[in-house]
Amino acid sequence: MAVERPVAVVTGACGGMGRAIARQLGRRYDLSLSDVSVLRLEAFAETLREEGYVVSALTPGDIAEPGVAAEQVAAARAAGPLRAVAHTAGVSPALGPWDAILRANVMGTERLLLALEDGLESGLAMVMIASVAGHFADKVAEVDAIMTAPLSPDFLQRMKPHLETLTKAEDQFGVSQPAYAQSKRAVIRNCEGRAPAWADRGARIITLSPGLMWTPMGRAEADANPAAARLGQNTPIGRWGTSLDIANAIDFLVSDVAGFISGTDLRIDGAVTPAVRGVVF
């Protein structure tokens, strides 16, 4: 009798990180993949199957839209025991306006978390992609409070004036820049806030903050934003990060070896965050 393999969900599966994560997790999980583009998702799934991976479910759609995240989670659960979630779906300042960033990074994440928490499995481990930008975001109590209820009907309306206040003259992408930083700060805080309740149910939740990564999104950011390009040039380890750096870390974090890790953020940034902060001993 065949042994039923566990299932791993990868959101944003067609992005640079998503592809690498799917291939890495697919060695020991059946894959349930989602992405906003149905054509890209079907093409990537076909490629994976040709390479010998098992793709059990495909659920295209905008995760920020009502019902899409619930459909994705239901499809994964129908495919087998859900044990891992890698949430990479998101929008950066180079790829969308401020409201699209908040919809994808904050509202979509909240909808996914709520769908998972409706029947949360013991043994599940989830890793959400944040960013070092979240560590540099201004700490504003009012913004943090609004971010705790991203599905409120007036969420975007309440956020806009705060983001306009936080926008600096040198911000290459205007309001989108603080929107991105604040969205990733919210993801990190959301993980910390939910972790105890997840632990009570036998599940773990973690965030991972990449520095500048050699992905299509990362290169677009650096090409359009001199500050991002300088971040890559000044990374102490001497290179950009790669998708495999992220995939390897997620493979570890969702494994039983990392069973005591939850409610925390792992920076994978080549030591750029302490360098920018000027931390010395």
Is 250 a domain residue?
A: yes
Q: Are 101 and 150 in contact (CB under 8 A)?
A: no
| pTM of the predicted model as reported, rounded to 2 decimal places | 0.94
As a whole-number percent, the residues of the chain with pLDDT over 90 amount to 85
In this predicted structure, the answer to whether residue 1 has a pLDDT above a threshold of 80 is no
Is 75 a domain residue?
A: yes
Model confidence over 54-99: pLDDT tens digits?
Answer: 999 999 999 999 999 999 999 999 999 999 999 999 999 988 999 9
Model confidence over 196-214: pLDDT tens digits?
Answer: 999 999 999 999 999 988 7
Looking up tokens 């409201």 gives 99
Q: Which of 45-59, 196-210, 215-229 has the lowest mean pLDDT?
A: 215-229
pLDDT band of 11, cuts 50, 70, 90: very high
- Write down the pLDDT at residue 280: 55
Query: In a 3-state reduction of DSSP, which class is residue 127?
Result: strand
Query: In a 3-state reduction of DSSP, which class is residue 214?
Result: coil
CATH of the domain at 61: 3.40.50.720
Is 274 a domain residue?
A: no
Strand partners of residue 57:
32
- Write down the pLDDT at residue 264: 98
Number of domains in the chain: 1
Is 275 a domain residue?
A: no
CA 276 – CA 272 distance, rounded (Å): 6
Q: What does DSSP say about strands 125-129 and 265-268: parallel, antiparallel, or unpaired?
A: unpaired
Domain of 256 in residue numbering reads as 7-268
In this predicted structure, the answer to whether residue 231 has a pLDDT above a threshold of 70 is yes
In this predicted structure, the answer to whether residue 281 has a pLDDT above a threshold of 70 is no
Mean pLDDT value of segment 164-191: 96
**What average pLDDT does the structure give for the chain?**
94
- Write down the pLDDT at residue 8: 98
Helices (H) and strands (E) in the chain, counts: 13, 7
- Write down the pLDDT at residue 163: 98
Is 273 a domain residue?
A: no
Is 227 a domain residue?
A: yes
Is 276 a domain residue?
A: no
Is 196 a domain residue?
A: yes
What is the DSSP secondary structure assignment for residue 213, as one 8-state letter? B
